[in-house]
Amino acid sequence: CCPSRATILKGQFCHNTGIWDNGDLNNDTFLSGGFKKFQALGLENETIGTVMQSAGYETKFCGKYLNGYEDKSAEIVPPGWDHWQGMTDTAYYGPHFSVNGKLKKMNNSVYQTDYIRNVAISFIERKRPDKPFFMYLSPFAPHAPATPAHRHENMFLDKKAPRTDSFNPDDSLQHQKPSWLGRLPKLSDEQIE
């Protein structure tokens, strides 16, 4: 998660950014990755946001920023974003956002991905007509638990993933895959259903 998000923000691979993982999620330091390390290394000072803003674009960020960017971080708006809505609590229903540095807690009827979509539409409809724009939308979905919108919960109950030869292969085929994947056991019927 964080290595990928840092790569998108910086345009550099994790061996260049030093963001190797999501951070130590058992404490609040996040010094092996995440928001605090990204900040401590000064990586926020030059991102896609700062570059686009410097080039004259109106910039917008909405969604998940980095692990460790939480409610207590809400007053921090990273450089480069004219309009900031960084998620500080990633609940699918009732998410929290930093809206230009002010914490906004949605009620439990607000579905996170719908909110992000609505923010994007509103921004496009109200953006300055005399200025180009850059918008970075960063939904939390499909992170586990993959909670669908209520209107989608029962849409695909009768659907199954295609059962091709690569679906839940026997051990002889499974062991031909990369080491971490080759070691995974075959799924049981209960896990598949």
Q: pLDDT of 123-135, one tens digit each?
A: 999 988 999 999 9
* 17-41 pLDDT per residue, tens: 988 888 765 555 556 678 988 999 9
- Cα 174 to chain centroid distance, Å, stands at 30
User: In the predicted model, is pLDDT for residue 52 greater than 70?
Assistant: yes
Which ranges of 11-138 would DSSP assign to H, the alpha helix? 14-17, 35-40, 48-54, 112-126
Closest CA to 43 of 73, 20, 10, 70: 10
> What pTM did the predictor assign?
0.83
Q: Is 2 a catalytic residue?
A: no
CB 58 within 8 A of CB 69: no
Choose, from 1, 2, 14, 62, the residue flagged as catalytic. Answer: 1
What per-residue confidence (pLDDT) applies to 99? 98
* 53-111 pLDDT per residue, tens: 999 999 999 999 998 899 999 999 999 999 999 999 999 999 999 999 999 999 999 99
What per-residue confidence (pLDDT) applies to 90? 93
